[in-house]
Copies of this chain bind each other. A is one copy, B any other.
């Protein structure tokens, strides 16, 4: 996966979230809507949102499962929701020793923020 000689300038963000123009710019195509809806749906659950926020606000934008499990649900449920966030491209994970560490994908977050930009014409 990593070859520093070939990929020194690649922004992982750009490949992670090619989608989409601001929602206010023009009607979405079916394909754009599929891609963007997947990201919104991942954040459309209160437990997932708390887990995501816990990772995103943790020191260094990274957190161990051991840091963020205090959301009132069982450990398997936490794992299930973290997997959903990973599948949607919002989190990445890396095992280091005993623990798995989760990190926010800032580019995806930024792409979702762009979707919600309010175009002057729409205000």
Residue positions of A touching B, CB distance < 8 A: 23-28, 30, 33-34, 36-38, 40-50, 52-54, 56-57, 59, 61, 68, 71-72, 104, 106, 109-110, 112-113, 116-119, 121-123
Taking a contact as CB atoms under 8 Å apart, the answer to whether A53 and B30 are in contact is: no
Across-interface contacts of A113 in B (CB, < 8 A): 113, 116-118
Inter-chain CA distance A110–B98, complex, in Å, is 41
User: Assembly of this chain: how many copies?
Assistant: 2
Taking a contact as CB atoms under 8 Å apart, the answer to whether A44 and B41 are in contact is: yes
A50 contact from B30, B42, B106, B117, Cβ within 8 A: B30
Across-interface contacts of A25 in B (CB, < 8 A): 57
**With A109-B116, A113-B117, A122-B61 in contact, do A26 and B53 touch (Cβ < 8 Å)?**
yes
**With A109-B118, A112-B116, A123-B61 in contact, do A37 and B46 touch (Cβ < 8 Å)?**
yes
**With A37-B44, A57-B122 in contact, do A30 and B72 touch (Cβ < 8 Å)?**
yes
A40 contact from B34, B49, B117, Cβ within 8 A: B49
A53 contact from B28, B47, B59, Cβ within 8 A: B28
Taking a contact as CB atoms under 8 Å apart, the answer to whether A23 and B52 are in contact is: yes
